[in-house]
Amino acid sequence: MEKEILEQGLNLNRRKFLSRLSLGLGSAALGSLLVPDLFSGKNPAEDALLNALPHFAPKAKRVIYLFQNGAPSQLETFDYKPLLNKNFGEELPESIRMGQRLTGMTSGQASFPLVGSYFDFQQYGESRAWISSLFPHTASIVDDICIVKSMHTEAINHDPALTFFQTGAQVGNRPSMGSWLSYGLGSENSNLPAFCVLLSKGKGNGQGVYSKLWSNGFLDATHQGVQFSNSEDPVLYLKDPKSMSRDERRKMLDQIAAMNDLSYREFNDPEITAKVQQYEMAYRMQTAVPEITDVSKEPDSIIKLYGPDCLVPGTYAANCLLARKLSESGVRFVQLYHQGWDAHDNLPNQMIGQAKDVDQASAALITDLKQRGLLDETLVIWGGEFGRTNYCQGKIQVENYGRDHHPRAFSIWMAGGGVKSGMVYGETDDFGYNITENPVHVHDFQATILHLMGIDHERLTYKHLGRRYRLTDVSGKVVKDIIT
């Protein structure tokens, strides 16, 4: 009897406990309704971060970055310094250099003789911008571009400087600018990668480009830049092998995906899903890419615009044309590299060749985007990783001289996509050595690009190894003055 009473009491307690428990579970369930990702294991903060992108109305939808690899001299392009011609051969005054560091290539030089541009300068357009005679086509579009004469960087050698420009840090392993944009905004056209890379080589002294420059770093591998080949087949292996039909290809991919799914369930490695997505992307690229890379239907006026080299695969002109076609088809970020600007000696001669390679096609890209009504939503950037010294490296002659690396002041230009046109921004001293007005640091430049794409550079972050990373590291200010 006593036992039954006890049992009864316990039962009562148990029932009470269970009913209370269910109330607790109910409230937990309610909680999960209020915070939907509570139990999903996803990082809601990150999803929210991406859902809120772009942070504000973008001015540019796409970027084409014409990287002039090796660092073209600002003094033979856009920064006109007649004083250097006047003071030819005179020593660089200490009051200008102020003991700043030099590279090992000239720090041992007994003297630092000033050397002026071998090429004449003239003023063009409504902005009255000075442009050297090497760039007649660029001069013809001067009212569509904004020349920034006050860029400066932290690195003094090519690889760190390039890496700094592309990833915001001088050491490797961080995501490239295009990868950040792919991560933040995705691709407009889901049949093409968001980030494409095109390489070309001039005849001047070249510096290497490495795939780390278009690396996804710690971001998902789908954000990696896709390098196009220089051959007539810009993306290799897109054709189906003989005797394999489209349907069979589809079946094969489905089977592989099923198997990958199995191993994903076992190991939970996100690289596996990234791989499946890439296979799917490649499948869709099989039709999307040939539509774009076929240049045989381009009208004659396009060939004249870009120059006849634009039909020779692997040239800068061909890459500019391809860049336009990719960008027009919704590729978020097209990165070109043109090697050969590292003129430590024989600079005038090398510059002639390099300018011939890039001048017409760069200007053509602007004109072409404009006539299609695309320039206002496409940001085009032209520039190298740093500038070159105002003093001569090696033997000095009026028509034959060299220039060493100079990170303290150099020129780039930008066009379209929310950048003021017909503008010259920033100024350097009469020696072209230091910036006197409106300096633009590489991080400022990156912040500005992200801003034009509708992104607050401080809010596009990714948490990796316990800290949040961003393209502009811990600095960067949007250069509002050059934005429309």
Residue window 371-410: x/- pattern of binding to another protein, with contact defined by CB under 8 A: xxx--------------------------x----------
Contact region with another protein (CB under 8 A), list: 245-253, 255-263, 292-300, 438-446: 292-300
Selected from 99, 108, 241, 299, the binder of another protein by CB under 8 A is 299
Selected from 284, 398, 436, 459, the binder of another protein by CB under 8 A is 284
Selected from 30, 33, 34, 57, the binder of another protein by CB under 8 A is 57
Q: Is 480 in the site for another protein (CB under 8 A)?
A: yes
What 3 state SS string does the chain have?
Answer: CHHHHHHHHHHHHHHHHHHHHHHHHHHHHHHHHHCCCCCCCCCHHHHHHHHCCCCCCCCCCEEEEEEECCCCCHHHCCCCCHHHHHCCCCECCHHHHCCCCCCCCCCCCCCCEECCCCCCEEEECCCCEEEECCCHHHHHCHHHEEEEEEEECCCCCHHHHHHHHHHCCCCCCCCCHHHHHHHHHCCCCCCCCCEEEEEEECCCCCCCCCHHHHCCCCCCHHHCCEECCCCCCCCCCCCCCCCCCHHHHHHHHHHHHHHHHHHHHHHCCHHHHHHHHHHHHHHHHHHHHHHHHCCCCCCHHHHHHHCHHHHCCCCHHHHHHHHHHHHHCCCCEEEEEEECCCCCCCHHHHHHHHHHHHHHHHHHHHHHHHHCCCHHHEEEEEECCCEECCECECCCCCCCCECCEECCCEEEEEEECCECCCEEECEECCCCCCEEECCEEHHHHHHHHHHHCCCCCCCCCEEECCEEECCCCCCCCCCHHHEC
Q: Among residue numbers 9 through 38, which ones bind another protein (CB under 8 A)?
A: none
Selected from 38, 54, 105, 438, the binder of another protein by CB under 8 A is 54
Residue window 323-352: x/- pattern of binding to another protein, with contact defined by CB under 8 A: -----xxx--------------xx--x---
Selected from 39, 56, 210, 279, the binder of another protein by CB under 8 A is 56
Q: 227 or 346: whose CB is closer to another protein?
A: 346
- Residues in a beta bridge with 410: 151
Alpha-carbon distances of 8 from 21, 55, 132, 404, rounded to whole Å = 19, 63, 100, 94
Contact call for residues 118 and 132 (beta carbons, < 8 A) = no
Which ranges constitute the DSSP H helices of 149-230? 158-167, 177-185
Q: How far is the CB of 4 from another protein (least distance, A)?
A: 32
Contact region with another protein (CB under 8 A), list: 66-74, 95-103, 169-177, 189-197: 189-197
Contact region with another protein (CB under 8 A), list: 26-34, 115-123, 369-377, 423-431: 369-377
Q: Is 357 in the site for another protein (CB under 8 A)?
A: no
Q: How far is the CB of 454 from another protein (least distance, A)?
A: 6
Q: How far is the CB of 11 from another protein (least distance, A)?
A: 28
Contact call for residues 281 and 238 (beta carbons, < 8 A) = no
Q: 166 or 187: whose CB is closer to another protein?
A: 187
Residue window 303-322: x/- pattern of binding to another protein, with contact defined by CB under 8 A: xxx-xxx-xx----------
Q: Is 296 in the site for another protein (CB under 8 A)?
A: yes
- Calculate the dihedral angle through the C-alpha atoms of 136, 137, 142, 145, rounding to the nearest 10 degrees: -140
Q: How far is the CB of 408 from another protein (least distance, A)?
A: 27
Q: How far is the CB of 346 from another protein (least distance, A)?
A: 4
Q: 345 or 427: whose CB is closer to another protein?
A: 345
Selected from 246, 287, 459, 463, the binder of another protein by CB under 8 A is 287
Count of residues of this chain found to bind another protein when the rule CB under 8 A is applied: 47
Q: Is 279 in the site for another protein (CB under 8 A)?
A: no
Alpha-carbon distances of 100 from 104, 152, 296, rounded to whole Å = 13, 14, 52
DSSP per-residue letters across 221-239: GGGS-EEPPSSSSSSTT-S
Q: Is 51 in the site for another protein (CB under 8 A)?
A: yes
Q: 190 or 255: whose CB is closer to another protein?
A: 190
Q: 93 or 308: whose CB is closer to another protein?
A: 308
Q: 275 or 370: whose CB is closer to another protein?
A: 370
Q: How far is the CB of 273 from another protein (least distance, A)?
A: 18
Selected from 11, 19, 263, 301, the binder of another protein by CB under 8 A is 301
Q: Say which DSSP state 90 is in.
A: P
Q: Is 190 in the site for another protein (CB under 8 A)?
A: yes
Q: Is 246 in the site for another protein (CB under 8 A)?
A: no
Q: 442 or 452: whose CB is closer to another protein?
A: 452
Please report, as ranges, the residues that interact with another protein according to CB under 8 A: 51-58, 188-192, 203, 284, 287-288, 291, 296, 299-301, 303-305, 307-309, 311-312, 328-330, 345-346, 349, 364, 367-368, 370-373, 400, 454, 480, 484
